[in-house]
Amino acid sequence: MRGYLGIDVGSVSTNIVFLSERGEVCEAVYLRTRGQPIRALQEGLGELRRRLPAEVSVLGVGATGSGRYLAGLVTGADVIKNEITSHAVAASTLVPGVQTVIEIGGQDSKLIILRGGIVADFAMNTVCAAGTGSFLDQQAARLGIPIEDFGRLALQSSAPVRIAGRCAVFAESDMIHKQQMGYSLADILAGLCEALVRNYLNNVGKGKEILPPVVFQGGVAANAGMKRAFEKALGMEVIVPPYYHVMGAVGAALLAREKMAARRPSKFKGFGVTEARFQAAGFECGGCPNACEVVELREGGEVLARWGDRCGRWSSSLGLQNVG
């Protein structure tokens, strides 16, 4: 069996997929990053290895997500791409003709506008996290509801409550108020979904032309209440594709396939990296008043890479690529 690895190391989850030569998803692993991206990556690769047949051959590796450079160094990726391009490539391959991609993850949310199969415009949330999955996570926890049941419960609502969703802090006090007034849980949950959608469309979607087909992906797309709230707000069908939760990794694998079409050898270090001992440590450089926080990645005793310095004093001292 031959194919491509796609790795998406995000702030909340680490996703790895194995794509066949024809571009079909064979296996997908979804793990929580839990603040330890290297360990999550090693665990994920180990899990994938167990699920794949023994004679598997990796033709190329793509890495994406906020931990893409780290993941690329650890595994030996052939392509390191940002999340926006990866998500766009995955959506336009799995849902041909897509014109709008809504992606909501744990810590960030994106809107990608495609025209004729290529990205025409995009936006990401700025400093505020009120339009992201962690907002829902937090509120569900406050209400004592497992996040997995959130969507199903929200769908039972017939009259969603209006909740001020501009800010997570105010949303919470507003929710408590509505709760004390006696609204049902389902109506409050559906109201939360609508508040988040409103917030997303006002901030991330500001000034963007949202045309169908609309694809909704990222971890939050699991929430059926969110899908319905988007459909209601946009007045059009919203498609949640299969593998919606690992689309970034699918996109990275597709980009690796595109790059390796010329049949060059992959830089993949092999599944043995799951056993290797990696250590990442930071230190503050005292070379100038910038006091950059430099991160160093070691494998065994050897320094693989350094980054975080503005001037290149540390990152270039190894003759390796300047990350970022």
- Contact residues for another protein (CB under 8 A)? 66, 81-85, 116, 118-122, 124, 126-127, 207, 288-292, 310, 322, 324
| Closer residue to another protein in complex, CB, 3/72 | 72
| Closer residue to another protein in complex, CB, 49/259 | 259
Min dist CB 122 to another protein, Å, is 6
| Closer residue to another protein in complex, CB, 27/309 | 309
Return the H-helix or E-strand segment holding 146.
none
Min dist CB 318 to another protein, Å, is 17
Min dist CB 66 to another protein, Å, is 6
| Closer residue to another protein in complex, CB, 36/173 | 36
Give the pair of three-digit tokens for residue 224. Answer: 């059926």
Distances (CA, A) of 250 to 40, 58, 62, 76: 18, 15, 9, 17
| Closer residue to another protein in complex, CB, 144/324 | 324
Q: Return the closest-CA partner of residue 213 out of 194, 232, 233, 231.
A: 231
Give the pair of three-digit tokens for residue 191. Answer: 């109201």
Geometric angle at alpha carbon 273, from 270 and 276, rounded to 5°? 145
Min dist CB 316 to another protein, Å, is 11
Min dist CB 252 to another protein, Å, is 13
162 and 156 in contact (C-beta within 8 Å)? no
Min dist CB 204 to another protein, Å, is 13
| Closer residue to another protein in complex, CB, 36/290 | 290
Q: Return the closest-CA partner of residue 15 out of 218, 249, 222.
A: 249
Min dist CB 117 to another protein, Å, is 8
| DSSP H stretches of helix in the chain | 37-51, 68-75, 83-94, 133-143, 147-155, 168-180, 185-203, 224-234, 247-259
93 and 67 in contact (C-beta within 8 Å)? no
- How deeply is 102 buried, as exposed, middle or buried, from its count of CB atoms within 10 A (0-12, 13-18, 19+)? buried
Q: Are strands 2-9 and 214-217 parallel, antiparallel or unpaired?
A: unpaired
> Which residue carries 């959608």 as its tokens?
197
Return the H-helix or E-strand segment holding 1.
none
132 and 102 in contact (C-beta within 8 Å)? no
Min dist CB 153 to another protein, Å, is 33
| Closer residue to another protein in complex, CB, 274/321 | 321
Give the pair of three-digit tokens for residue 183. Answer: 């609204």
| Closer residue to another protein in complex, CB, 232/313 | 313
